[in-house]
Amino acid sequence: MHAPLSGLIAAPHTPFHADGSLNLAPIPAQARLLARNGVRGAFICGTTGEGASLTGDERKRVVEAWVAARPAGLAVIVHVGHLSQGEACEFARHAQQTGADAVAALAPSFFKPASVGDLVSWSERVAAAAPQLPYYYYHMPAMTGVNHAAADFLREAEGRIPNLAGIKFTHENLMDFAASTQVAGGKYTMLFGRDEILLAGLAFGAPGAVGSTYNFAAPLYQRIIAAYQRGDLETARRDQLKSIEFIEVLGRHGGLSAGKAAMKLIGLDCGPVRSPLRPLTARDEESLREGFEKIGFFEYASKIG
């Protein structure tokens, strides 16, 4: 079994051509950027990676490209979730065969598991499709509508999912997060998934975090982690507020679409978002740049080279 995940783990954008077709060419540069900025892993084909908007074949091609391109020390975690359990199992098998380092899955979000037991049963089969890889349940109620407590999931899954490594926790319920860190004597790795409140996750024991803004602002988050670890909470809070500030700018300009535009602004064009999301116009991109410049974003943005 692979080592537990820790540190910053970016959720990379899937690159597309201008016409919306898949473009694998930028992936080696994306991988190098993450490694250069001290990021420890790439969580691919998830929310930021627009995994739900990719075909099955495209998802597999993205996995193969990332595994081939990863620098030494950069883990590749594959989101394998799907409304079809059979498809999720197939993606998990493929991830293991390709050489990924871990798999994760969102809960099914059309026909939803009515109980924690149902969710564990669904996850159990998906995890078993890649028995040699750590499995992380991806808890994101805002997108899935499945809000069974993460701590209850871990208690129910204990002893049933041998390769369960932990949870990617993308939620604001810090009480549930804290409780989850204590299940089975702290056995499970809780990866925090809200970039704008990373400091809170660290305070409750998160050994690592998964987020989209680590693609283009990793140096700022490295400062937050370093300040927290040396007990300098004043600096950590100040830098977390900078994160909140630029995330507010992103939100005003389109969220995920603006995040992809931010990649272009730092010098790594990953193309547009895919429909039904709407890409930023040239005017929108210029407004985003102006908003970033006003708050000093480019002073701590990820460096291409």
| Mean of pLDDT over the chain | 97
Q: What is the 3-state secondary structure (H, E, C) of the chain?
A: CCCCCCEEEECCCCCECCCCCECCCCHHHHHHHHHHCCCCEEEECCCCCCHHHCCHHHHHHHHHHHHHHCCCCCEEEEECCCCCHHHHHHHHHHHHHHCCCEEEEECCCCCCCCCHHHHHHHHHHHHHCCCCCCEEEEECHHHHCCCCCHHHHHHHHCCCCCCEEEEEECCCCHHHHHHHCCHHHCCCEEEECCHHHHHHHHHCCCCEEEECCHHHHHHHHHHHHHHHHCCCHHHHHHHHHHHHHHHHHHHHCCCHHHHHHHHHHCCCCCCCCCCCCCCCCHHHHHHHHHHHHHHCHHHCCCCCC
Residue 4 CA from chain centroid, whole number: 16
pLDDT > 90: percent of the chain? 97
pLDDT tens readout for residues 216-240: 999 999 999 999 999 999 999 999 9
Q: Residue 158 phi/psi, 5° resolution?
A: -55, 120
Neighbours of 145 (CB within 10 A): 11
- The pLDDT assigned to 275 comes to 95
Is the per-residue pLDDT at 305 higher than 80?
A: no
The whole-number average pLDDT for the span 97-113 is: 98
pLDDT tens readout for residues 30-48: 999 999 999 999 999 999 9
- The pLDDT assigned to 4 comes to 87
Gap between the Cα atoms of 165 and 3, Å rounded: 10
Tell me if residue 138 is catalytic: yes
Gap between the Cα atoms of 221 and 8, Å rounded: 8
Neighbours of 200 (CB within 10 A): 16
- The pLDDT assigned to 1 comes to 54
Gap between the Cα atoms of 51 and 33, Å rounded: 21
- pTM of the predicted model over 0.95: yes
Gap between the Cα atoms of 183 and 173, Å rounded: 16
pLDDT tens readout for residues 56-86: 999 999 999 999 999 999 999 999 999 999 9
The CA distances from residue 293 to 62, 201, 221, 271, 296, in Å, are 33, 28, 18, 22, 5
Is the per-residue pLDDT at 3 higher than 90?
A: no
Half-sphere exposure in the Cβ direction for 224 (13 Å, CA): 28
Tokens of 292: 């970033």
Catalytic residue among 137, 138, 214, 221, which? Answer: 138
As assigned by CATH, the class of the 7-233 domain is alpha beta
- The pLDDT assigned to 304 comes to 83
Gap between the Cα atoms of 250 and 271, Å rounded: 17
Q: What is the C-alpha R_g of the chain?
A: 18
Catalytic residue among 60, 136, 137, 168, which? Answer: 168
pLDDT tens readout for residues 262-280: 999 999 999 999 999 999 9
Tell me if residue 168 is catalytic: yes
The CA distances from residue 176 to 64, 149, 156, 173, 201, in Å, are 35, 6, 15, 6, 11
Residue 162, preceding bond cis, omega within 30 degrees?
no
For the CA atoms of 84, 86, 92, 94, the dihedral, rounded to the nearest 10 degrees, stands at: -120
Which residue type does 122 have? W
pLDDT tens readout for residues 144-177: 999 999 999 999 999 999 999 999 999 999 999 9
